[in-house]
Amino acid sequence: MELIHSVREAQARSDALRAAGRRLALVPTMGCLHAGHLSLVDEARRRADAVWLSIFVNPTQFGPGEDFERYPRTLDADLACCRTAGVDAVFLPAVEELYPEGSETWVEVGELTRPLCGRDRPGHFRGVTTVVTKLLLATRPTLAVFGEKDFQQLAVVRRLARDLPLGVEILGAPIVREDDGLALSSRNALLDPETRREARVLSRALDAAERAVAAGERRTAALLQAVTLELGKAPRGRIDYAELRDPERLAPSAERIPGPTLLALAVVFSADSGPVRLIDNRVLTPHPSAEDRPCS
C-alpha cells in the first residue's frame, strides 16, 4: 500500500492509471475508520480497478466552538485497516498542501446547503464542497464513494459534480449500523457508556416513523410527533433538528408525505468528553393507499 502526501504525486499516479485504462475510485474520509468506511472501500472495489482512500481532517468545515480539536485521530490504526481492506494507496495531505498560504478560493453550492446541517453551521458546507473539490482535483478519480449517513453531504456533492465538469461519478453507499441500530460514526468514539446507550434513540426514532408509515400514517405533524417523543427519551440529548424533506431537493415536506420522504435527524448529546453531535436518516416510503390510486 502506497502513502501519497503531495497533490503533484497524487495527480501523476492517477494520470498513469488513466493512461493504462484503469478505473480509479476514491473514498474520502477524515480518518478514525470503522466498518462503515470499509463498506465504502468494498463498494469502490466492486466498481474500479484501483481504490484510494484519503485521510484529512478538514479544518474549514468546523465552525467556532465545534469539535475540530477533539475529532478522533487514529492514523496508525487507520493505515492498518486500509492494508487489511486492500486499499491500494492512501492520500495523506498536510493542511498546507490543500490550503497553501494565502488561499482565498472557495467552492459553494446554493440551496441544498441551507437547511438541516447548514442552517446552524454557517460555513460548514462551504468547507465541505471546497475540500471535496480539492481532493477530487488532486486525485482525479473515475468515481468517488460517500456514505448515505451524511445524506445532505451526499446530495450536495452530487450537485457539485453535476454543476462542475469534474469528470467524477459520485456513488452513495448504505448506512452501516451496530447491532443495536446506532449508525457507525467516527464521533461515536467520543461517547461515554451512558451516552452511548442513550444514542440508540436515533435509530429507534427512525423505526417509530417507519412503523407509523407502514401502518398508513401520512401526516407530517403526526410522524414528527412520534419521532420527537422517542428522541425525548434521551435525557442527555438535545434535538438539533428532526425534519421530513424531499430526498432530491431537500425541500420541506407537505402536510402529508406524498411519496418517498427523507427523515433527517441531528441530536447533540452531553457526553463526559463534551457535546457530541450525531446525525442519522432514513427514506420513508409509504405504500399507495386506496385514495392515492387512480380511478379505473
For each of the domains in the chain, give its residue range(s) and CATH number, in order of start: 2-173 (3.40.50.620), 186-280 (3.30.1300.10)
pTM: 0.94
How far apart, in Å, are the Cα atoms of 59 and each of 5, 30, 66, 70, 161?
17, 10, 10, 12, 22
- Around Cβ 14, how many Cβ atoms within 10 Å? 23
Each residue of 51-67: pLDDT tens digit?
999 999 999 999 998 99
Concatenating the DSSP letter of every residue in 87-118 gives -SEEE---HHHHS-TT--------GGGSSGGG
pLDDT at 293 over 70: no
Judged by DSSP in three states, 149 sits in: coil
The two most distant CA atoms of the chain are separated, in Å, by: 67
Q: What is the pLDDT of residue 292?
A: 55
Q: What is the pLDDT of residue 288?
A: 76
pLDDT at 295 over 50: no
- By CB atoms closer than 10 A (0-12, 13-18, 19+), residue 241 is middle
The catalytic position among 5, 34, 37, 287 is 37
Each residue of 104-163: pLDDT tens digit?
999 999 999 999 999 999 999 999 999 999 999 999 999 999 999 999 999 999 999 999
Check: CB of residue 8 under 8 Å from CB of residue 139: no
Annotated active-site residue 37? The verdict is yes
Each residue of 166-181: pLDDT tens digit?
999 999 999 999 999 9
Share of the chain above pLDDT 90, in %: 96
- Amino acid sitting at position 128: V
- Please choose, from the candidates 148, 177, 174, the residue with its C-alpha nearest in 3D space to the C-alpha of residue 42: 174
- Around Cβ 15, how many Cβ atoms within 10 Å? 11
Share of the chain above pLDDT 70, in %: 97
